[in-house]
Amino acid sequence: MTGILSAYSKTPALEDVMEQLKTLARQPAAFTAKDETSLPQVHAVNCLKEIFKSSSLGKRCDNHIADCLQIAAESLKSKMYVVAGHA
């Protein structure tokens, strides 16, 4: 994801990707114990994390910091976060 966004192409636009990832990360998770590897919410949070860590993308995401910090805080309370092995 970060490689594609770092290319500065017109599509996908960083703003569009950030909004889609934030929306996906906020969705409630419905999962079973055997389905723990297919949690798109976890993948979205991980993509957001990598975007902020990227030297070329992180500085372009200043207006998303508050939303992403809120998502991170909410994730700490999520059962999905524990099942995915991040606790």
Tell me the whole-structure pTM to 2 decimals. 0.77
Q: What is the pLDDT of residue 87?
A: 45
Cα separation of 31 and 87, whole Å?
A: 17
Cα separation of 52 and 34, whole Å?
A: 31
In angstroms, how far is CA 63 from the centroid of its own chain?
A: 15
Query: Which structure tokens are listed for 77?
Result: 């309370």
pLDDT tens track of the chain, all 87 residues? 888 888 877 778 899 999 999 999 998 877 665 555 678 888 999 999 999 999 889 888 999 999 999 999 988 877 665 545 554
Amino acid occupying residue 29:
A
Backbone angles phi, psi at 39, to 5 degrees: -105, 95
